[in-house]
Amino acid sequence: MTFEVPAHSANGKPAGRIRQKNEEAIIKAAEEEFARHGFKGTSMNTIAQNVGLPKANLHYYFSNKLGLYLAVLSNILELWDSTFNNLTVDDDPAEALERYIRAKMEFSRRQPKASRIFAMEVISGGDCLSQYFNQNYLDWFRGRAAVFEGWIAAGRMDPVDPIHLIFLLWSSTQHYADFASQICRVKQCSRLTKQDFEQASDQLVQIILKGCGLKPAVKA
């Protein structure tokens, strides 16, 4: 079974509108179940019921539970990684990094369950992601690192290790989805609000940009 993330390839073709709409509804229902019960505890029958489709129709889109689980993982990775594709050496580093940090934080706010499913998969060994870390992924990652190297070579930001900077960008933004319960206990609140995410985004932008020798834009 293949695992594909369109952001890593220029050959991805969009699905038909109706199929895409149905797949999105199925993936959303699957996120709820996988986040609540894990891969082993999730039932295809329950997902079909939650999305309002006969089980046979569900299998038309995803032949088995593993295929649906991989689609959930691929969906969140596509959101994260396609956004990272927008960084280019011609961009202003401060503006580009701020846009990316805020976009990733918005994904954490809107799709925390998908982020947690990905995190648990990696923590458990990442067997289902073995095809994800392929040559396309390595080429894509090196291309992202090359953007930072270009900025550094041009003297537009301080010399930092691009690999560790990328890891920092990912971990800091996804923390607010994966460890929301811990943050809520510290902040003594029941859930993180949109304002909480906006304030956290402001702080991450300031800390990360200053660590790269960049000046955050002054908010109006």
Q: Are residues 154 and 82 part of one domain?
A: yes
pTM for this prediction: 0.84
The two three-digit tokens of residue 153, written as one number: 């070579």
User: Which CATH number goes with the domain that contains 157?
Assistant: 1.10.357.10
Q: Is the dihedral of CA 123, 86, 1, 138 positive or negative?
A: negative
> What's the rounded Cα separation, in Å, for the pair 69 and 39?
7
Are both 197 and 103 inside the same structural domain?
yes
Domain coverage including residue 103:
66-212
The whole-angstrom separation of Cα 117 and Cα 177 is: 10
Find the helix or strand (DSSP H, E) in which 23 lies: helix 17-41
Residue at 3 is within a domain: no
Domain match, 125 and 93 both: yes
Residues 52 and 74 in one domain: no
The helix-helix angle for 112-123 and 93-110 (nearest 10°) equals: 90
Structure tokens, 132: 């994800």
What is the rounded CA–CA span in Å between residue 96 and residue 89?
10
Please list the pLDDT of the chain residue by residue as tens digits (220 residues).
445 555 555 554 455 787 888 888 999 999 999 998 889 899 999 999 999 988 888 989 998 999 999 999 988 898 898 889 989 999 999 999 999 999 999 999 999 998 999 999 999 898 888 888 889 999 999 999 999 999 999 999 999 999 999 999 999 999 999 999 999 999 999 999 999 999 999 999 999 999 999 998 766 5
Identify whether residues 188 and 83 lie together within a single domain: yes
Alpha carbon 179 to chain centroid, angstroms: 15
CATH number assigned to the domain comprising residue 25: 1.10.10.60
Do 173 and 75 share a structural domain? yes
Largest CA distance in the chain: 59
Do residue 36 and residue 110 come from a single domain? no
How many Cβ atoms from other residues are within 10 Å of residue 67's Cβ?
Answer: 14
